[in-house]
Amino acid sequence: MNKPPYPHPIIAREGWPFLAGIVAISVVVSLWSGWASLPFWLLSLFVLQFFRDPPREAPGGDNNVLSPADGRIVAVEQVKDDYFGHRDALKISVFMNVFNVHSNRSPVDGEVLSVTYFPGSFFNAALDKASLENERNAIVVRTPQGHVVTAVQVAGLIAKRILCYAKTGDSLYKGQRYGFIRFGSRVDVYLPPGSRPRVVIGDKVSATSTVLAELPPQV
């Protein structure tokens, strides 16, 4: 399922209204007072960096699971995947702070089996309880080799909007952009038993560029 990278607009389309609004305010305030406009221009720079969406190149390897987000690894543990039959799974969690890229990308090639939204709270996304108690959106993907991988977008303390563009039946390729979260959050990835983690807690990772784990041999 090798496909060319999707066109990157450099600035995520989700951020265009925010950036246009704050820049317009900054310009108007500048006409009144240059000094008074300084905080607005600084806020404009923050919005610009938050919504950046740089292109990434995916490493090869059919069994590689790629990071779905930029950030820091906050969990590598054996758990139950309640999004796919309460199966045993290896969970790897990536926490995104407000300075990370928040575009979410598919960790594997495959067909989307389900997309499910769960309302919830807005605890700090770095906390373990955020995985099951915060607002979240889960996609379950079956790879061409028959493995099932679950990726869960989890809202954070100040994240108020989870955007997911994948639909049941869609085919995704590694690194394909499928969603976005505003403003600070995490993505949990649930992998089948036998998967080997390639990261440890505390590692900094980049969406698409970093290999999180290796799936077991073909089912």
**What residues are annotated to the active site?**
185
Q: Among residues 82, 58, 60, 76, which one has the least CA distance to residue 68?
A: 58
- Residue ranges with strand state E in the chain: 10-11, 52-53, 64-66, 71-81, 87-96, 103-105, 110-118, 136-142, 148-155, 161-164, 171-172, 177-182, 185-191, 196-197, 204-205, 211-214
Q: Among residues 191, 166, 188, which one has the least CA distance to residue 178?
A: 166
H/E stretch holding 41:
helix 34-50
Tracing tokens 């955020």 back to the chain, one arrives at: 130
The strand pairing partners of 140, in sequence order, are: 114, 150
Amino acid present at 194: G
